[in-house]
Amino acid sequence: MKVVIKLKMEILHEVAKKYGTPLYFYDLQEIKRRTRLLKETLKGIDFKVFFAMKSNANLHLLKFMRTLGLGADAVSLNEYRMARFAGFLPDEIIVNGNGKSLEDLEFYLKERPFCLNVDSYEEIEKLNKYGSKMRIALRINPDVDAKTHPHISTGLKENKFGMDIKTVSKIVKNLPPNLDLAGIHCHIGSQIIDVEPFVEAFRSLKKFVDDEDLDLQFVNIGGGWGIDYFKDGDGIDLKNYKNTIVPLLSSFGKPIYLELGRFIVGSAGYLLTHVTEVKHTSDKTFIVVDTSMADLIRPTLYDAYHRIEFLSNSDEIMADVVGRVCESGDTLARERKVNLPQVGDLGVIHDVGAYGYSMASNYNLSIRPAEVAYDGNDFFIIRRRETFEDLLNFMQQGGGE
């Protein structure tokens, strides 16, 4: 039980006993530590971080993020509304996303967030219809390979996001008068380990700004900082970032905005689960747990690695850790060395604070887990577990009874 857990096993046992499993558990001290780390890395430049809500949009965590001085990056109307609910003022919120509808744009034009990141030429045409004032940044797709999983790469020309330099240049020259071009934006992908793709992307932004002789209010470089899922140093190398990227960012001579999600909240989250069966076949051992791809889809969707520990003092074996959803893809770990647990033992899945709960579903009519936060002294529930009645209500209220 190597890593388990600075957070003390007793607390995890207590939480699991009090609220049941599966359950998402967040360590607020870790979020603070990560925020400090990122501030240290960016020291020397004028910057602001907007928390990417898509990674985790729990209302209480959002309120906490705000106390740490972060803004919010919202990618849908509902994320925007939740940010407002959490206390973020419109000018603390950046709006992102592709394919914004006319209804979305009308809403944002009334709200006037800090900035709207425009994803396409067509979006400019839609905004032009209204004539109301809006502060915008243009999202540049620099056609850079972020060397991450293809599903979470966003800065290649075959990806659906942003605009090529030519299109952005055309917009800059014919900007509708109601739009205030405040910045440029670029986000090349997520879970990026290597600093090279950032260098390439930011160099091409700099060249664009110089070529066009743009006088911007800021440069928004998106998010994407990778974390250390294997605990063997595979996170983004902050020293290298500081030495290589920070000088490049300084050269813009403008405030730098970031939209980080995973780096801030990823390592603060644990998914607690109980073992429901240990199944031996002629081929393998399957450890079946009471969570699944419905609660944590990353292993299924991206073949993502999450450390898993069973809080038992037995010998290690090789096993697959699987959920109870009726799909073979519902495998949380394949051929993994773990302590052989017994039915009823507690398991801890690590680094699930980002894109864990926020991607959970009701597949197989699974109910979404509860969420609990821990501030170093006390733990408290920040979202109750769904119930069967919740699922039923949606359908009955749809009138189909």
State in angstroms the smallest separation of the CB of 247 from ligand LLP. 22
Residue 347, interface with ligand LLP (CB under 6 A)?
no
CB distance 249 to 281 below 8 Å:
no
| Residues 107, 110, 113, 119, CA torsion sign | positive
CB of 306 to ligand LLP, least distance (A): 11
Among 71, 155, 197, 261, binds ligand LLP (CB under 6 A): 261
Q: Which part of the chain contacts ligand LLP (CB under 6 A), choosing from 7-15, 197-205, 332-340, 351-359?
A: 351-359
Residue number with CB closer to ligand LLP (229 or 379): 229
Nearest distance from C-beta of residue 309 to ligand LLP, angstroms = 21
Contact 296, 350 (CB under 8 A): no
Neighbours of 76 (CB within 10 A): 16
Question: Which residues ranging from 202 to 241 are in contact with ligand LLP (CB under 6 A)?
Answer: 222-225
With respect to ligand LLP, which residue has the nearer C-beta, 260 or 349?
260
User: 10, 239, 326, 378: which one is catalytic?
Assistant: 326
Using CB under 6 A as the binding rule, whether residue 55 contacts ligand LLP is answered as yes
Is 326 known to be catalytic? yes
Pick the closer one to ligand LLP by CB: 12 or 42: 42
> Which residues are CB-neighbours of 100 under 8 A, at least 6 positions away?
108, 119, 123, 126
In angstroms, what CA-CA distances link 364 with 197, 323, 360, 361?
Answer: 39, 11, 12, 9
* Pair of tokens at residue 316: 């290690």
**Distance, CA of 399 to CA of 401 (rounded, Å):** 6
Q: Which residue is nearest to ligand LLP (CB)?
A: 223
Q: Please, what's the b/e burial string for 343-374 (b: 16 or more CB within 10 A of its CB; e: otherwise)?
A: eebbbbbbbbbbbbbbbbeeeeebbbbbbbbb
Q: Is 56 in the site for ligand LLP (CB under 6 A)?
A: no
Shortest distance, CB of residue 172 to ligand LLP, whole angstroms?
20
CB of 160 to ligand LLP, least distance (A): 11
Q: Mask of contacts with ligand LLP, 11-50, x by CB under 6 A?
A: ----------------------------------------
Residue nearer to ligand LLP on the CB measure, 21 or 154: 154
97 sits in the region (left: phi over 0; alpha: psi -120 to 50; else beta) called left
State the DSSP H helix or E strand holding residue 47, giving kind and residue range, or none if neither.
strand 47-52
Angle at 205 between CA 75 and CA 213, to 5 degrees: 115
Q: Which is nearer to ligand LLP, 11 or 301 (CB)?
A: 301
- Is residue 66 within a helix (H) or strand (E), and if so which, with residue range? helix 59-67
Q: Of 100, 298, 336, 350, which lies in the binding site for ligand LLP, with binding defined by CB under 6 A?
A: 298
- Please list every residue from 66 through 105 that binds ligand LLP, using CB under 6 A: 73, 96
Instruction: Tell me which of 259, 295, 320, 330 binds ligand LLP, using CB under 6 A.
Output: 259
The site map against ligand LLP for 166-205 (x = CB under 6 A) is ---------------------x--xx--------------
Choose between 53 and 275: whose C-beta lies nearer to ligand LLP.
53
**Which one among 262, 306, 368, 383 touches ligand LLP, defined by CB under 6 A?**
262
Residues 356, 322: Cα–Cα separation, whole Å: 16
In order, the DSSP letters of 283-344 are S-EEEEES--TTT--HHHHH-----EEE-----EEEEEEE-SSSSTT-EEEEEEEEE---TT
CA distances, 394 to each of 29, 199, 206, 368, 388 (Å): 36, 47, 49, 14, 10
Residue ranges binding ligand LLP (CB under 6 A): 52, 54-55, 73, 96, 152, 154, 187, 190-191, 222-225, 259-263, 298, 302, 354-355, 359
Q: Return the active site residues.
A: 326
